[in-house]
Amino acid sequence: MPARRIQQYAATRARYCATMSAPAVNTRLPAVLYQADGSRRVNYRAVLTVAWPLFVQFGVQAFLNVIDTWFVGRLGSEAIAGMNAVSFSSFTLLLLFGGTGIAVQTIVAQRHGEGRSARAGQAAWHGIHSAVLVAPLAVGVALAGPQIFNFFALPESVVTAASDYWLPRMAAGGLVVVSFALGNFFNGVGRTRISLMGALISAAVNVILNWLLILKLGWGMYGAGLATSISVGVGVLYYFAVFFSRHFRGMYGTTRMWHLRPRVLLAVFALGLPIGIHSMFDVGAFAAFQLMVGKLGAVPGAATQIAMILTSLGFLPVAGLNFAAATLVGQSIGAGDKEWAYRVGMACIKIAFVYQAFWAVLFATVGGPLSSIFVTGADPNAQAVIELSTTLLLIAAGYQLFDALNLGTLGCLRGAGDVLVPTAALLVLAWCLFVPLSHMLIFEEGQGWVDFLPQFGLGAKGGWIAALVHITLLGSFLFLRWRSGAWKKKAV
């Protein structure tokens, strides 16, 4: 046999042996690049393909919060203080109600990873069914707004502003759950650009309605809440139009999987209630912190609201990355590879870390100019609000990297269905540490809600120091939980 033929035969046999000895290729794994030797590495471009629409989507929400606060700021510092009292409070209950809608993403991602597309469509429908059950409860809470805010002994002007926003915002709670369910269906199957488009449509409608209802018609805080709720409804109409399109009807059975199945609904609630409770504990603790600051008056309340809105430019886009991590981890587990789920999850955490490092530097260096955007020169409290919010942003810069660990890791754990331990940890840290510590550091003696805690009178700065301690501990714990691999024992 000629030497050339011998070389060709040897090369062919070597390639055959390498192929036979290489690991089997799992085509359902997300964001994976297979090397020539059969090894794998994370395809960061594929991670970003899934993540960037969610990143932008939540960034749009952060920008929308900035716009809302700017419009409300035209009404004065007392209106901004009212927004401070109500923004996290309303979001707390909407997340509690919407836990089932968020749970849809985990179930859909895992069914999609298993190749059971129709069951993914079924999960979306059961998220919608859950919205029907919680809608009456949301309306009841909406009507109780004045009683809720009076309970916390807020200034009368703040109670009025907060209650006006609360009513139309909370009354649309069922609609918010539908939006969560449909948006997270698209996220779970990796079609994140659709959920981004829904967010962009809602944002555009909200800006237009803010201008019309707040400034032109003079409806004040009620107009702000109504504008937000109507914009959510417009986004839901867009989601339904895509959900019933030919592609999704054919692949996911979106017009035939709507029948109520108690077992599936129970699975949605079994996963969604811990998610909703986790969100309630988390955001609710910050709502309590904001209500404490609101009790101090217009300047601390307005400064805290401005600092919250600016820090949301850091944490809300990472919350979008949180949802991308849940999709990628869930799809990897559905495809039967938990080791890959860990690797792709770590990639998401690294991206979150880099992004929030940028905001940490920004908050520490240009907090004053950023804060000045939200106040008018005619407001006699303007300079005091700017100076205080600048200090608060400097404190917030200290916990940005730990918030990246918190949000990035939480999405990974949720994608794996590991929700009970993170919820328990949050309950302890938020309500046994953060809230009591905030009360101790914010109020002077005799000024607070209770008398049995020591009170150091640091004002709004004390509450932000408590937030620094809380987020540092929570982010560290959740990251260690993810690194431990305990989530690999979970099944959804």
Alpha-carbon span 25 to 322, nearest angstrom: 27
User: Which one-letter amino acid corresponds to residue 20?
Assistant: M
Query: What residues in the chain have per-residue pLDDT under 70?
Result: 1-27, 77, 81-88, 153, 491-492
The amino acid sitting at 427 is L
pLDDT at 381: 85
Dihedral of CA 253/255/260/265: which sign?
positive
Q: What is the pLDDT of residue 361?
A: 96
CA 198/CA 191 separation, integer angstroms: 12
Q: Would you state the pLDDT for residue 21?
A: 40
Q: Are 304 and 460 spatial neighbours (Cβ–Cβ below 8 Å)? A: yes
Give the CA-trace dihedral at 339, 344, 348, 353, to 10 degrees. Answer: 60
Is 0.75 surpassed by the pTM of this model?
A: no
* Residue 60 · residue 312 · CB < 8 Å: no
Q: Please list the alpha-helical segments (H only) found in 335-419.
A: 338-371, 382-397, 400-415
Residues 6+ apart with CB under 8 A from 423: 274, 275, 277, 278, 281
Tokens of 6: 């011998």
Q: Are 356 and 326 in contact (CB under 8 A)?
A: no
* Integer CA distances (angstroms), 415 to 59, 89, 405, in order: 21, 26, 15
Provide the 8-state DSSP code for 42: E
Rounded Cα gap, residues 175 and 206, in angstroms: 15
- CA Rg, the chain, in Å? 24
Question: What secondary structure does DSSP assign to 99-155, as a single string?
Answer: HHHHHHHHHHHHHHHHT-HHHHHHHHHHHHHHHHHHHHHHHHHHHTHHHHHHHTT--
pLDDT in tens, 64-84: 777 777 787 777 767 776 666
Separation of alpha carbons 41 and 351, rounded Å: 16
From the CB of residue 364, how many other CB atoms can be counted at a distance below 10 Å?
15
Residue whose pair of structure tokens reads 């510590």 in the numeric block = 437
- Per-residue pLDDT tens over the stretch 314-346: 888 888 888 889 889 988 998 889 999 999 999
CA geometry: angle at 86 spanning 80 and 88, to 5°?
110
